[in-house]
Structure 1
Amino acid sequence: MSDLLLWRLSASDLARMTRAGEVSAEAVVAAAVGRMRAVNPRLNAVVKDLGDSAMERARGLDAARARGVATGPLHGVPVTIKVNVDQAGHATTNGLPALKDAIASADAPIVDNLQRAGAVVIGRTNTPEFSFRAETDNPLHGRTSNPWGDHVSPGGSSGGAGAAVMAGIGALAHGNDIGGSLRFPAAANGAVTVKPGLGRVPAWNPSQKAERGMLAQAMSVQGVIARTVRDLRLSMPAVISPDPRDPFHVPLPYEGPSIDGPIRVAFTKETYEFDLHPEVSAALDTARQALTDAGYVVEESEPPLLREAASTGFRALMGEVRLLMGPDVRAHGSELLNAIFDEYYRQFPPFEGAEQLQMMAKRSHYARQWSLFLDKYPLVLTPFMLQPTYRPLRDTEGAEGVREVLGSAIYSYSMNFMGLPAGCVPARLARLPQGELPLSVQIVGRRWREDLIVNACEAIEARVGVMADHLLRRGL
């Protein structure tokens, strides 16, 4: 099989073939590395090329298989790791010149879990400064481009991951999400992801000097971005494997108990004070019909306290960020990043003092109301981005730019605040004045039921198709 075909294959197909001996891990990784070196100069998605060490590991996997060593579920699958997570021997830069020499001494749990499953890391992907923008640009590594075109953002903060996987640079991409950083890049690039729920994927950076703030711990999760939904299903059991370094990890199996009868799905187009683009509305209609035809019972129902939870959650996060991260942002962030943070503080006035503690405590109130709602509706179909993908660096354009990119993302950071899992899947290839662009919807699920979300995403993908097929046919 030619290298051209290998780098285009899904993680599921590659794992099946390498485990069966139909193709070597070395050939698979060589194809991915070749693709990375061919297209990454235009995209700047990967900022650390690990192709040489990846080839060495691939040869080791082939030799181990030949000796009869059991293969993992991701045997030989090329993956990328975001530069804000520790990988032994490499800098955890987090997009900051000040951290360019911050070499990690050990792997983070997500890196260990992927490699134990047989995955091969071919590169490290870009992120904005402090990984705190829905855009991917920084003074150390530069700006990442969207493979759909330079006229649209790749999203953030895992924009390097989203652009890489959709361009065929690895079959899976690691990312993380504190307010939308898995889902923004998935939506912007036409990929699929599921933001795991709180405690689902073990997390910790061995290089960190202090524990993160309580809200950062509660809202930030690790995950993967893929080209196809079945690749999420393949990889999720591996990434949720326990690690004792995360004392709050929830060691539940990937698949939960079955639900009697057809699954009820709440459906909403409510966007409060924000406009919903007609093409995004059409994507929601398509997703609704796909779920209905697949046997789900979809009912219009407004989720509880969504707007309030979103506002409270992000203002509380900003309160913690300003107190704990603020001095570092001022000292090590660029002038541009500090201007963006000033706008964050204006649009999301940080809580302070006793009010900050009260609003952090109120998180349980919102989560409880949603828990009751999800007891009736195990899944909720919602918008994600309310408009088609924004142009690059839109969040640098003052109040209007920040409002479009982040202010309107109420269906994003609200889920982080409540710790709920949420998937993002394309539901329409829109023909817009700026060209064809994928548009995604969000599916929220019961706590620790990522499996239900993935199943529903697959029903939508079966109707709409895989966006990477459209993108790669156009050529890069």
Structure 2
Amino acid sequence: MTNGEIWRLSATELTVLTKKGDLSAEEVVKDALVRMHQVNPELNAVVEDLGAEAMERASALDRARRDGALAGPLHGVPVTIKVNVDQKGHATTNGVVALKDVIAPDDAPVVSNLHKAGAIVIGRTNTPEFSFRADTDNPLHGRTHNPWGRHISPGGSSGGAGAAVMAGIGALGHGNDIGGSLRFPAAANGAVTVKPGLGRVPAWNPSQKAERGMLAQSMSVQGVITRTAADLHLSMPSLIEPDPRDPFHVHLPWRGNMQDGPIKVAFTKNTFGYALHPEVDKALDTARDALIDAGYLVEEIDPPDVFECGRLGYRALMGEVLTLMKGDIEAAGSQIIRDIFEVYFQEFPPIVGDDLIQALAQRSHHAREWSLFLQDYPLVLSPFLPQPFFKPDRDTEGAEGVHEVLGCAVYSYAMNFLGLPAASVPARLAELPNGPQPINIQIAARCWREDMAVDAAAAIEERVGQMAPILWEQMSN
């Protein structure tokens, strides 16, 4: 692999070469930075260039390796970090102008774990204001564009991470997900991710002044966006390492027990009255067939009520947001984000007061129903969105826009409310009037069995192929 092409390698491929000494960390990072400088001006995915810092760290890792130090599992892998997570010495802006000078006193657990594994942060990626849109734009850092074209939103809130990793800016893109913020950008950009389950990855921001609400604590998770499912198997064991600053972290191995016999998969196309686009329908069929070919037992059956569970969960979250965040949004948010939140509150009428307590109690009922179902069907293959990904700023177009962006995304935020892992993987490259566009599907799994969801994603990827090489060819034309 020559300089100028190293950036094309997956994290899995890179670590094979860096651990053998065939590539130095400096060579890897230098090539990643060249790629970033080539494509990021067009995308605005990375909003803080950490090139100098990254080269210093790469040199230090190379020296340590020459001196006999053991290489970490992510030795020399270039990564990006989302700007809503603390990285020591850098601003945790969360896409908000008023937070541009909030400098992190220490690394968040996810950053610390990546560093310990030998990864090298090359830049910090964009997010919408307060990280609470499925699109990525803000007055502080500007709009992020989708590398497939400006007619497609890059997704949010980890839109910078998704656009960066698919454009070849780093092999791993850190992100987080409270209602879909890892899976929306994966779907938008044709990337692969897994939303970890409740308590799986330790989380905390040392810069925060107050604790988050209970639903934010239980629904929000940290993860990575990748170009290939194998990179999730490589990177996630490092992310789930314990950190005492998260007292609710669940310390379990990445790999769970092997299942006896073929794994049963519940397959559903139920979109609860929302029209299922023909391209999404085809993507689901392709994913189903790939799993059957890989030896899974796929049965068409609906899981417990996703619509009721998802809507209840997001309405409860909106109740918490109304109580704990609305003042900050009004004081520090742009008019655009204030208007969007007003429509959010219409689409998902906030549950507050005594009703919120009842909704939180009802969460256990839904989680139990799913837990029982997943005893028979350890995986659930479903749509992620019922239609191809939406255009930029669709959520600024009133009730209809917010309904298309979030209202129909019940398979997304239901998994956050339930605390279940869910993978997103492209299953089709659709030829649409504006050009080719990836279509991702979702695979939910039993609690703390992210590995099973990623295995299924890998089986689908084996049939469909990776979207990145197709995208890179398009970007070069």
For the aligned pair, the TM-score class normalised by the smaller chain equals over 0.9
Secondary structure, counterpart of 1:3 in structure 2: coil
Find the counterpart in structure 1 of residue 280 from structure 2: 280
Note the C-alpha offset of 1:4. Answer: 2.1
Secondary structure, counterpart of 2:142 in structure 1: coil
Note the C-alpha offset of 1:106. Answer: 0.0
Structure 2 portions without partners, runs of 5+:
none
Secondary structure, counterpart of 2:134 in structure 1: coil
Say if 2:185 is the partner of 1:172: no
Find the counterpart in structure 2 of residue 204 from structure 1: 204
Find the counterpart in structure 2 of residue 318 from structure 1: 318
Say if 2:130 is the partner of 1:130: yes
Note the C-alpha offset of 1:420. Answer: 0.3
Find the counterpart in structure 1 of residue 418 from structure 2: 418
Find the counterpart in structure 2 of residue 108 from structure 1: 108
Note the C-alpha offset of 1:3. Answer: 2.2
The one-letter code of the counterpart of 2:278 is P
For residues 144 and 252 of structure 2, the distance between their equivalents in structure 1, rounded to whole angstroms, comes to 36
Note the C-alpha offset of 1:98. Answer: 0.2
Find the counterpart in structure 1 of residue 385 from structure 2: 385
Deviation readout 1:226-282 (Å, 9 max, x if unpaired): 001100110010000000000000000000001100000000000012111000000
1:318-337 alignment, distance < 5 Å: 318-337=318-337
For residues 14 and 119 of structure 1, the distance between their equivalents in structure 2, rounded to whole angstroms, comes to 11
Secondary structure, counterpart of 2:16 in structure 1: helix
Find the counterpart in structure 1 of residue 217 from structure 2: 217
Find the counterpart in structure 2 of residue 27 from structure 1: 27
Find the counterpart in structure 2 of residue 90 from structure 1: 90
Note the C-alpha offset of 1:294. Answer: 0.3
Say if 2:46 is the partner of 1:38: no
Secondary structure, counterpart of 1:121 in structure 2: strand
Secondary structure, counterpart of 2:4 in structure 1: helix
- TM-score computed with the length of structure 1 as normaliser: 1.00
Secondary structure, counterpart of 1:28 in structure 2: helix
The one-letter code of the counterpart of 1:178 is I
Note the C-alpha offset of 1:434. Answer: 1.1
For residues 47 and 281 of structure 1, the distance between their equivalents in structure 2, rounded to whole angstroms, comes to 36
For residues 355 and 148 of structure 2, the distance between their equivalents in structure 1, rounded to whole angstroms, comes to 44
The one-letter code of the counterpart of 2:186 is A
Secondary structure, counterpart of 1:138 in structure 2: coil
The one-letter code of the counterpart of 1:394 is R
Name the % identity. 68
Note the C-alpha offset of 1:2. Answer: 2.0
The one-letter code of the counterpart of 2:42 is R
Secondary structure, counterpart of 1:475 in structure 2: helix
Find the counterpart in structure 1 of residue 401 from structure 2: 401
For residues 387 and 472 of structure 2, the distance between their equivalents in structure 1, rounded to whole angstroms, comes to 24
The one-letter code of the counterpart of 2:35 is R
Find the counterpart in structure 2 of residue 253 from structure 1: 253
Find the counterpart in structure 2 of residue 294 from structure 1: 294
The one-letter code of the counterpart of 2:63 is A
**Off by >3 Å, runs of 4+ in structure 1:** none
Note the C-alpha offset of 1:360. Answer: 1.1
Structure 1 portions without partners, runs of 5+:
none
**Contact (CA 8 Å) 2:83, 2:126: kept in 1 or not?**
yes
Find the counterpart in structure 1 of residue 226 from structure 2: 226
**Contact (CA 8 Å) 2:174, 2:225: kept in 1 or not?**
yes
Find the counterpart in structure 2 of residue 450 from structure 1: 450
Find the counterpart in structure 2 of residue 155 from structure 1: 155
Note the C-alpha offset of 1:386. Answer: 1.1
1:320-359 alignment, distance < 5 Å: 320-359=320-359
For residues 250 and 71 of structure 2, the distance between their equivalents in structure 1, rounded to whole angstroms, comes to 26
Deviation readout 1:137-176 (Å, 9 max, x if unpaired): 0000000000000111000000000000000000000000
Secondary structure, counterpart of 2:317 in structure 1: helix
For residues 352 and 97 of structure 1, the distance between their equivalents in structure 2, rounded to whole angstroms, comes to 29
For residues 148 and 9 of structure 1, the distance between their equivalents in structure 2, rounded to whole angstroms, comes to 19
For residues 4 and 276 of structure 1, the distance between their equivalents in structure 2, rounded to whole angstroms, comes to 42
1:254-273 alignment, distance < 5 Å: 254-273=254-273
Say if 2:456 is the partner of 1:441: no
The one-letter code of the counterpart of 1:348 is F
For residues 242 and 352 of structure 1, the distance between their equivalents in structure 2, rounded to whole angstroms, comes to 34
Moved more, 446-455 or 2-11: 2-11
1:177-192 alignment, distance < 5 Å: 177-192=177-192
The one-letter code of the counterpart of 2:73 is P
Deviation readout 1:191-236 (Å, 9 max, x if unpaired): 0000000000000000000110000000000000000110011001
Say if 2:121 is the partner of 1:121: yes
Note the C-alpha offset of 1:44. Answer: 0.2
For residues 151 and 263 of structure 1, the distance between their equivalents in structure 2, rounded to whole angstroms, comes to 39
Note the C-alpha offset of 1:475. Answer: 2.3
Find the counterpart in structure 2 of residue 472 from structure 1: 472
For residues 475 and 135 of structure 2, the distance between their equivalents in structure 1, rounded to whole angstroms, comes to 24
Note the C-alpha offset of 1:387. Answer: 0.7
Deviation readout 1:6-34 (Å, 9 max, x if unpaired): 00100001111001100110000000011
Find the counterpart in structure 1 of residue 304 from structure 2: 304
**Contact (CA 8 Å) 2:200, 2:448: kept in 1 or not?**
yes
For residues 453 and 9 of structure 2, the distance between their equivalents in structure 1, rounded to whole angstroms, comes to 23
**Contact (CA 8 Å) 2:147, 2:475: kept in 1 or not?**
no
